[in-house]
Chains A and B, each alone.
Chain A
């Protein structure tokens, strides 16, 4: 009896979470997989791969996919390079006024997506935005930021970079600080230059935290929604439509739950695939 009670105790602690988890995660996970194969014209469940095959011939999905991949290929590496630089700079012993820099780079991490989307939409406005005011003051012409495809995509990427660089820098800084000082002393004794030390010691030893940041950023980018919805409303045309905004449109504007579910699973598969590549590239001989 006592033994049984002891065995049930941990389940008592786990149960409230587990119930929520099963109801709001496990069930929806399976449900949306089924929905993605469901023929909505048939009452009850009717199996059809139509939602999945439709993805490949849907120009809107392809545009959303392309936009998301472009952001993935340009914004994520640029932001991580910047974050690595920041982490190393903030870790530097010669750096003064660390409090100020920390505030400047880490403050965006408490700002919500809606709030910064509003700010970026305003400051990149073509007629009266602060950015064009600044360009004009420097004698440069205004750019029609939000009404042209490439500039609009650049604004989105700048906004995400502004919001998430500090967040990544914190994680990288923690990784950096866990590297033993002995390694650097040994390198200094061997006469390694700062450049060599960075490439041969700092970067390889930061690999676990870089990998973590990359996976996190990739998942964040694949789930991009608010920035595209509020800064550019997916436009101009569909130039900044992301997988997230397209899914929202299909699921909650057209109430096409089956098709939206297959978009959702396409995002999940893409995420798993990209993470797998990252693990192969960055995770090798990871101790």
Chain B
């Protein structure tokens, strides 16, 4: 169906593929490199600024300075950063562990059992993906503050976020790859349903769980709005809330803030280099699979 003209053009390219592809490839690399450097610039500046006093930052420092320790001291004095970091770690670990447990159990139920209301529940849970957090946040807040009196506790941050639809969807996809024959073999050997889940099915989906764990940890670590609502005591702050209070101030110590952002970001940049494959497959796995 093709017209002769593009065919000739294509043949010309085939006759001299080297020159055109070298040019194209060079252009591609130049363009992508410029874009990549622009993307890296904010992170690089964050690291540089974390080592400078404010006047160094204002005068446009582009290389590392020697004030890292002082910046950290200021940060620690402005907001109890170590305490916030401890809170963030405990909350993220607890959330990740409990959420993995709940979503894998639910994902297992949805793939390996037939039960009354299965499609109904799955439909209802999936539908929440399309509902903005704003819709539930006010009653959630009232529940926490007025009914349960849990404000400023770890559970106030963790409990509502455990209703994690993305996790269920993701674990369901993972359990679909587990052969039911494998589970039945264990059942014939007399294993209880819990053992079938815990000792047979879970180990098979461990790589998927690792990817999900990283995403859950990150989402908890970086969450801002919900912790901002339920934490109003400095000692209970997580890192984003602590940093947020500093950014909002009129007279700010930017060196300290950049030290804080660097300390909360760098571990994950390193993790990203190490576990790139898991993180990428986790993000991609949350999307529609054909």
Mark A residues whose CB is within 8 Å of B.
7, 9-14, 16-18, 20-21, 23-29, 31-32, 35, 86, 89, 92, 94-96, 100-123, 127-128, 130, 133, 162, 165-167, 170-171, 173-175, 178, 190-193, 196, 208-209, 212, 219, 222-223, 225-226, 229-230, 233, 243-244, 247-248, 251-252, 257, 260-261, 263-265, 267-268, 271-272, 275
Contact = CB atoms under 8 A, between A and B. Distances in A.
B97 to A, nearest CB: 13
A272 B130 CA distance: 7
Contacts of A233: 248
Interface centre among A95, A111, A244, A248 (most CB of B within 10 A): A111
B283 A92 contact: no
Contacts of B182: none
Given A29-B131, A122-B258, A21 B247 contact: no
B109 A119 contact: no
B140 interface: yes
B28 A106 contact: no
Interface of B: 1-2, 6-7, 9-10, 21, 24-25, 28-29, 32, 35-37, 39-43, 45-46, 49, 57-60, 101-103, 105-106, 108-110, 113-116, 118, 121, 124-125, 128, 130-143, 159-160, 162-163, 168, 193, 197, 218, 221-222, 224-225, 229, 239-241, 243-244, 246-248, 254, 257-258, 261, 264-265, 268-269, 271-273, 276, 279-280, 283-284, 286-288, 290
A9 B130 CA distance: 29
Contacts of A244: 134, 225
Contacts of A173: 284
Contacts of B121: 14, 18
Contact of B288 (A192, A209, A225): A209
Given A95-B28, A219-B132, A112 B265 contact: yes
Nearest to B10: A191
A247 B134 CA distance: 8
A32 B138 contact: yes
A27 B139 contact: yes
A264 B265 contact: no
Given A27-B139, A101-B36, A109-B283, A11 B115 contact: yes
Given A94-B21, A114-B222, A267-B132, A108 B102 contact: no
B40 A107 contact: yes
Given A16-B102, A113-B222, 7 more contacts: A101-B32, A111-B265, A122-B258, A225-B225, A233-B248, A257-B138, A275-B130
Contact of A190 (B2, B273, B276, B287): B2
A10 B120 CA distance: 14
B6 A104 contact: no
A31 B290 contact: no
Given A193-B10, A268-B131, A14 B1 contact: no
